């Protein structure tokens, strides 16, 4: 009897390993193509918290450091 890769249990196992590896490679490549999906970015469907808005305003230069600290203290105390 001839036993090749395409016959029997070994053939099935090799086919499963091959296709599983191929799917894993495709998922990994898609993850590389779209790195923003892997980062901790705010969800656009969720509203920002008051502290997040305050941080953004400070980063944009809309408020000074003193105003930032004062508003931050107000948010934490209230």
SS3 47: coil
Alpha helices in the chain (DSSP H): 8-33, 50-60, 65-77
pTM score, two decimals?
A: 0.44
Kindly state whether residues 4 and 29 are assigned to the same domain.
Answer: yes
What is the rounded CA–CA span in Å between residue 29 and residue 13?
24
Kindly state whether residues 59 and 35 are assigned to the same domain.
Answer: no
Note down the domain range covering 35: 1-39
Give per-residue pLDDT as tens, 16-29: 999 999 999 999 99
Give per-residue pLDDT as tens, 12-71: 888 999 999 999 999 999 888 876 654 556 667 788 889 999 999 999 999 999 999 999
Kindly state whether residues 27 and 57 are assigned to the same domain.
Answer: no
Beta carbons of 38 and 46 less than 8 angstroms apart:
no
């Amino acid at each position: 009897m001839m036993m090749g890769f395409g016959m029997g249990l070994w053939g099935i196992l090799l086919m499963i390993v091959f296709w599983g590896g191929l799917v894993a490679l495709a998922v990994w490549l898609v993850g590389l193509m779209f790195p923003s999906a892997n980062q901790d970015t705010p969800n656009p469907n969720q509203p920002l918290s008051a502290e997040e808005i305050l941080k953004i305003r400070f980063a944009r230069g809309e408020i000074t450091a003193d105003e930032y600290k004062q508003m931050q203290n107000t948010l934490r105390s209230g």
